[in-house]
Structure 1
Amino acid sequence: MFLEKDGILKRFAKYASLNVLGMLGLSCYILADTFFVSMGLGANGLAALNLAIPVYSFLHGSGLMLGMGGGTQFAIQKSQNKREAANRIFTHTIRLAAIFAAVFVLLGLFLTETLVHLLGADEAVFAMTKTYMQVILLFAPAFLLNNVLLCFVRNDGAPQLAMAAMIGGSLSNVILDYVFIFPLGMGIFGAVLATGLAPIFSMLILSPHFLKKKNTFHLVKCRMEGRESLGIISSGIPSLITEVSSGIVMIVFNSILLRLQGNIGVAAYGVIANLSLVVLALFTGIAQGIQPILSSSFGAGREREMQSILRYALLSMLVLSGLLYMGVFFGASQIAAIFNSAGDKMLQHLAVEGLRIYFLACPFAGYNIILSVYFTSTGIPRPAHIISILRGFAVILPMALLLSSLAGIAGVWSAFPVTELLVAGMGVVFYGVYRKKKGKGGGTEQKQGNE
């Protein structure tokens, strides 16, 4: 038993740590933009970036939905030695990615101005917002394909390569951000071009997995079946909602902050929201890291192993949450100053206050993200859908409107932690119901998994 637990712990540590490092690198896409744009283009550039970032959230979320959904289904089929079915899953995922990419590119070509108007950009930031949004949308095929390949390579037993690709792509973004914005003077276009090229560098790093024929997944001739496509999308919807909800929340928060404080309020939220992308990426890293081993354990019927993996993930998340919040609370002034190169006193004050309130959500958000992936990885996506919808739309939007009307900007910052706390309570209930059902009907499965 000890050796078995020790083996599970080693697999968890390997997959989770590598994926956390990779997600940390990946999240630097936008954080690097935030830093260099604030240095090169000031508060208006920061506001423009923050108005356009929701589009990146939709794009990245779609890629994660297909990658995580397809990767989960692939891992389950592979663990049951169903190679042909696993290859069909990969083929369907690539086809779905092509369809989504075409939609995003068409939006970039024909509807960018309309989207920028809808997001509330005024004359001072309209041109920069349009440029960032249009270029991001035109790079949609690269973002989507990169997300799909990262998830499949990770589920194909190469988490180290997936981590290297994520970090390598992000590092290229940081370097090119500096080169394009400062020596070359390309402004906001340089920032978004660096971001768009990053997934291409990431896929180049992944290429040895295919060139050396180490991959066990391949494109095959098969009809596009609605059931398999829906299975992929259903398994990945929580990942989509997690990402898309951040975009929708940013749109609503930007609208409220424009009314309360104008562009300076949006700029302050840009500091908080972009740091939030990094923090949530760490929790997503733990969740995505455990997905391959959870799906394999589920496919093989090892119930006790699944519970051990979940326990390790939650303990890691709690330790990480405590460290992160202490860092944010005591370092709020320094963090805000990094993105406030002009030394604007109002921007500094709003950002410091917001950081200390907003990131109270850390342990609750981490719990919700991990539990959602646990449910989808073990073949019961419905609770994950509910958790994702509650935290993404149903609770946080009315909470933002209510609390901002009661407490102004402090209410806006409070909406996120209050929402995550309420949804975490619901998650505890869902997990309790799930365990109760397992206790009644899963005795044989648990016994199998323990042998």
Structure 2
Amino acid sequence: MAKTSSKDLGTQPIGKLLIKQAVPASIGILVMSLNILVDTIFVGNWIGSTAIAAINVVLPVSFFIAALGMAIGIGGSSIISRALGADNMPKALKTFGNQITLTFLFTVSFAIFGLYFVDTLIPAFGGKGTIFDPAKTYYEIILYGVPVLGFVMMGNTVIRAEGNPKFAMYAMLIPSVGNLVLDYIFINIMDFGMAGAAWASTGSYIVSFIFILWYFLSKNSELKINLSHFKLEKTIIAEIGSLGFVTLARQAVVSVTFLLVNNALYKFGGETSVTVYAIVGRLSMFALFPIYGITQGFIPIAGFNFGSDQHDRVKEVIYTAIKYATILAAVVFILLMVFPEVITKWFTTDVDVINVTPTNMRWAFAAVPILALQLIGAAYFQAVGKAFPALILTLTRQAIFFIPLMYIMPLYFGELGIWMSFPISDVLSTIVTGFFLRREIRLKLNRNTR
């Protein structure tokens, strides 16, 4: 594989460059989302529908802790992209070293905290009744691997910030493929049940960690750090923290949303409704994978060119990314609207779940095509180092609109009101993001175009 220079981010044609960056990211996210879907299918068919609900209960906790690595990675990668664009290698190296130190300290600390309060956290996130025991088994094993997962998430974003999307894609493919292979061995052959599902996930991320470690130690990476770079520096920590907090807040809201929705649905429909939400939740990454992939390709391009004051290229990549993501999301949207019954039957043979999932699935994904503007618009502000607007726009979709709607709508529509809250919040957050992005382009990028 040929080595890619970060300078390509500021010189190659935007359309070609975005495809080069986004296609590997999209493939990686697609395979990862398919892995999640197939993993759920395996668990549902080999263990049972209660196991699907148990995994869904654990997701908020593991997502939040793993999100520490992602937050540190994205926050630091924004700095690294802009530093490389400004030809400031010392700052890029110091930032990467500080990312490693912060990832280790936070993920280990929160893993210990999560294991200590296991019996309190699982019921709080909806793990009640028959769901509790399998959820606890899965939860404890997953948390053992959280520090490794944190390093994988952090390292992946740094690889992309260097302009090496293919290696970042491989880092995502390894745990996805490995998890399916280990699922088959641990669950189907060795009959380890929930413990097998958990060890399959943890083991696959250990393999990915080894690959990422090799990447940074090899000649493929420009970031060659030494021990002095690991020493924490206050200004860099503050910048990583302000930008990374956007990602952490988003993941925290996702965790809180899972908690609230799981408990609300359990109140209306019991374990069946929680299982339906688990299936819809698993599908969400697949539904949005084109947008997520293009967003990940977009961020280093926008950050590098903003750092090198090429604002005309920043505007071009904004428009191109939104256009590409909208078209691809529309294709996925059509599949979800036309074939929800078929998709549901992949996950379970439970007649009650099959009967109610399709309608709720259609409501949950009704506004998918317009989300390209919302997600890419929020990502722009993070990419260029504007933490506050990035934070506000990131929180609009779930914290500001969805959670209040989730409590208001059931007063009039019952359980259906919860599902209707998804597209309404998507539309409102997209309108708000569009306003701020248009204002930013007019006041900042147009005035500073060369």
**Counterpart AA for 2:18:** F
**Is 1:123–2:126 an aligned residue pair?**
no
1:245 CA displacement: 2.5
Distance (Å, rounded) in 1 between the aligned partners of 2:161 and 2:326: 25
Distance (Å, rounded) in 1 between the aligned partners of 2:407 and 2:99: 38
1:437 CA displacement: 1.9
Report if the CA contact (8 A) 1:238-1:373 is conserved: no
Aligned to 1:368: 374
Distance (Å, rounded) in 2 between the aligned partners of 1:329 and 1:145: 37
Aligned to 1:289: 297
**Counterpart AA for 2:297:** G
Report if the CA contact (8 A) 2:291-2:326 is conserved: no
Distance (Å, rounded) in 1 between the aligned partners of 2:370 and 2:169: 26
Aligned to 2:449: 446
Distance (Å, rounded) in 2 between the aligned partners of 1:48 and 1:105: 19
Structure 1 residues 32, 103: closer, same or farther in 2, change over 3 A? farther
Distance (Å, rounded) in 2 between the aligned partners of 1:286 and 1:60: 22
Percent identical across equivalent pairs? 26
Aligned to 2:59: 53
For 1:378-389, what aligned pairs fall within 5 Å after superposition? 378-389=384-395
**Counterpart AA for 2:180:** V
**Cα-Cα RMSD:** 1.8
SS in 2 for 1:182: helix
Aligned to 1:251: 259
1:289 CA displacement: 1.2
Distance (Å, rounded) in 1 between the aligned partners of 2:322 and 2:248: 21
Report if the CA contact (8 A) 1:132-1:189 is conserved: yes
SS in 2 for 1:253: helix
1:118 CA displacement: 1.3
Distance (Å, rounded) in 2 between the aligned partners of 1:350 and 1:230: 47
Report if the CA contact (8 A) 1:28-1:278 is conserved: yes
Q: TM-score, normalised by structure 1?
A: 0.93
Aligned to 2:228: 221
**Counterpart AA for 1:225:** E
Distance (Å, rounded) in 2 between the aligned partners of 1:31 and 1:99: 32
Report if the CA contact (8 A) 1:108-1:133 is conserved: no
Distance (Å, rounded) in 1 between the aligned partners of 2:100 and 2:218: 21
Distance (Å, rounded) in 2 between the aligned partners of 1:429 and 1:209: 40
Report if the CA contact (8 A) 1:61-1:241 is conserved: no
SS in 2 for 1:81: coil
Report if the CA contact (8 A) 2:43-2:51 is conserved: yes
**Counterpart AA for 1:186:** F
**Is 1:430–2:436 an aligned residue pair?**
yes
SS in 2 for 1:360: coil
Distance (Å, rounded) in 2 between the aligned partners of 1:219 and 1:242: 32
Aligned to 2:4: none
Report if the CA contact (8 A) 1:104-1:138 is conserved: no
Report if the CA contact (8 A) 1:298-1:306 is conserved: yes
1:158 CA displacement: 1.6
Report if the CA contact (8 A) 1:88-1:220 is conserved: no
Distance (Å, rounded) in 1 between the aligned partners of 2:429 and 2:179: 35
Aligned to 2:268: 260
Aligned length: 439
Aligned to 2:20: 14
Aligned to 1:154: 160
Distance (Å, rounded) in 2 between the aligned partners of 1:308 and 1:5: 13
Report if the CA contact (8 A) 1:63-1:143 is conserved: yes
Aligned counterpart in structure 1 of residue 324 of structure 2, from 297, 307, 316: 316
Aligned to 1:94: 100
Structure 1 residues 282, 132: closer, same or farther in 2, change over 3 A? farther
**Counterpart AA for 2:286:** V
Aligned to 1:24: 30
For 1:337-416, what aligned pairs fall within 5 Å after superposition? 337-341=345-349, 344-416=350-422
Aligned to 2:423: 417
Distance (Å, rounded) in 1 between the aligned partners of 2:12 and 2:95: 32
SS in 2 for 1:206: helix
- Structure 1 window deviating more from structure 2 (303-312 vs 217-226): it is 217-226
Distance (Å, rounded) in 2 between the aligned partners of 1:25 and 1:63: 21
Distance (Å, rounded) in 1 between the aligned partners of 2:11 and 2:435: 27
Report if the CA contact (8 A) 2:65-2:111 is conserved: no
1:227-257 superposed Cα distances (whole Å, 9 cap, x missing partner): 2112112222333333332222111111111
- Structure 1 window deviating more from structure 2 (5-14 vs 305-314): it is 5-14
SS in 2 for 1:221: helix
Report if the CA contact (8 A) 2:329-2:368 is conserved: yes
Distance (Å, rounded) in 2 between the aligned partners of 1:330 and 1:363: 15
- Structure 1 window deviating more from structure 2 (116-125 vs 68-77): it is 116-125
Report if the CA contact (8 A) 1:180-1:190 is conserved: yes
- Structure 1 window deviating more from structure 2 (20-29 vs 204-213): it is 204-213
**Counterpart AA for 1:57:** F
